[in-house]
């Protein structure tokens, strides 16, 4: 029987969480009253996660899993899961129970009212360190100012999407994926529910600072060309400073010849300033060119090593 709801959950080194996740999920999906499939994506875990997923699948056929050949990263893991979904409404959530499964019926209710995307906005993040909260807070606000489209504030990937939206996402070939942005890009009827983000149930944060920074860069670069324009502005600023300095030198030489010319120091400052402007501009340009390079290589987004619970994996394996 074709499931009505699909849950997509990426897991990476989450052996401490899987049993509790299953316990809380099964309570919720029993309550939905329609066929549900849960797709767990093992993103190249190095602990016992995969064998736990196999066991769960043996025990409960609603649980399916796909295993990627190595760690491809959260966004790609979610993408892989979305390629396999069979339901009419698809929920994407984290495995660590920071996105409470008990909210799924609320998301479903909104979907039944006719919304194609229901995303969950965090009003509060409990017990997450300042080092994570502050940059995230700043990033979402910068993104809102710079992005070409409207991307809601403080929203992660926890959401429900209609089949139609997932089909559009699956047809997008880009590999630098910022799913929460692509989801807004699709448009249609979108709405939000608010929730307080619980602390991680157990285990370590898998989104290290470096991974979060890289996701932030992907988000900014895929949805804005303003950083490129910043180089132009910096160039204009350097030109203005040069003109001001020329006027100053002219004044010192002709009108007030007794004033000291600061000589070497002035030249060094000007040199470093110009050098900095050029390097920053090249860096920004490099970020964009680097992404073009990654896109044109056209490698597959991920490689599968194993799937469980899909009758014909080849038909689902589109990318």
Residues near ligand UDP, by CB under 6 A = 10-12, 14, 43, 71, 73-74, 77, 94-96, 98, 200, 205-207
Tell me whether residue 15 or residue 60 sits nearer to ligand UDP (CB atom): 15
Of these partners, Mg ion, ligand UDP, none, which one is at the site of residue 74 (CB under 5 to 8 Å by kind)?
A: ligand UDP
> Per-residue string for binding with Mg ion, 97-116, x by CB under 5 A?
-x------------------
Tell me whether residue 54 or residue 132 sits nearer to ligand UDP (CB atom): 132
Quote the tokens at residue 92: 């994407």
Tell me whether residue 70 or residue 253 sits nearer to ligand UDP (CB atom): 70
Query: Does 49 help bind Mg ion (rule: CB under 5 A)?
Result: no
Give CA–CA dist 79/294, Å, rounded: 17
Give CA–CA dist 221/244, Å, rounded: 34
Of these partners, Mg ion, ligand UDP, none, which one is at the site of residue 95 (CB under 5 to 8 Å by kind)?
A: ligand UDP
Could you say which of 14, 43, 96, 154 contacts Mg ion (CB under 5 A)? 96
Residue 66, SS3 per DSSP: strand
Give CA–CA dist 58/121, Å, rounded: 35
Residues in the chain, how many? 319
| CB 96 to Mg ion: min, Å | 4
Of these partners, Mg ion, ligand UDP, none, which one is at the site of residue 157 (CB under 5 to 8 Å by kind)?
A: none
Quote the tokens at residue 90: 């698809």
The residues near 89 (Cβ < 8 Å, ≥ 6 apart) are 4, 5, 6, 108, 111, 160, 161, 162, 163
């Amino acid at each position: 029987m074709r499931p009505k709801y699909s849950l997509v959950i990426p897991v990476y080194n989450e052996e401490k969480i899987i049993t509790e996740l299953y316990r809380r999920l099964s309570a919720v999906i029993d309550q939905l009253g329609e066929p549900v499939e849960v797709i767990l994506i093992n993103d190249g875990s190095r602990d016992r996660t995969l064998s736990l997923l196999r066991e769960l699948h043996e025990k409960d056929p609603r649980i399916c899993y796909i295993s990627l050949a190595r760690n491809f990263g959260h966004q790609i893991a979610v993408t892989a899961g979305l390629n396999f979904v069979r339901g009419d409404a698809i929920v994407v959530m984290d495995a660590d129970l920071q996105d409470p499964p008990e909210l799924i019926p609320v998301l479903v209710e909104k979907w039944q009212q006719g919304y194609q995307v229901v995303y969950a906005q965090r009003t509060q993040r409990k017990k997450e360190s300042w080092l994570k909260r502050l940059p995230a807070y700043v990033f979402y606000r910068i993104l809102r100012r710079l992005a070409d489209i409207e991307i809601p504030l403080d929203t992660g990937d926890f959401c429900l999407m209609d089949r139609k939206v997932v089909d559009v996402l699956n047809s997008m070939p880009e590999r630098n994926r910022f799913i929460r942005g692509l989801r807004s890009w699709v448009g249609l009827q979108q709405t939000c529910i608010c929730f307080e983000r619980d602390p991680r149930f157990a285990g370590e944060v898998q989104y290290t600072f470096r991974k979060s920074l890289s996701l932030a860069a992907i988000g900014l670069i895929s949805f804005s060309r303003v950083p490129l324009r910043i180089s132009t502005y910096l160039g204009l600023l350097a030109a203005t400073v040069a003109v001001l300095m020329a006027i100053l030198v002219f004044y010192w030489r002709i009108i007030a010849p007794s004033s000291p010319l600061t000589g070497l120091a002035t030249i060094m400052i000007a040199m470093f300033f110009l050098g900095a402007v050029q390097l920053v501009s090249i860096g920004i340009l490099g970020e964009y060119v680097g992404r073009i390079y990654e896109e044109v290589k056209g490698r597959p987004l991920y490689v599968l090593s194993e799937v469980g619970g899909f009758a014909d994996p080849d038909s689902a394996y589109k990318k």
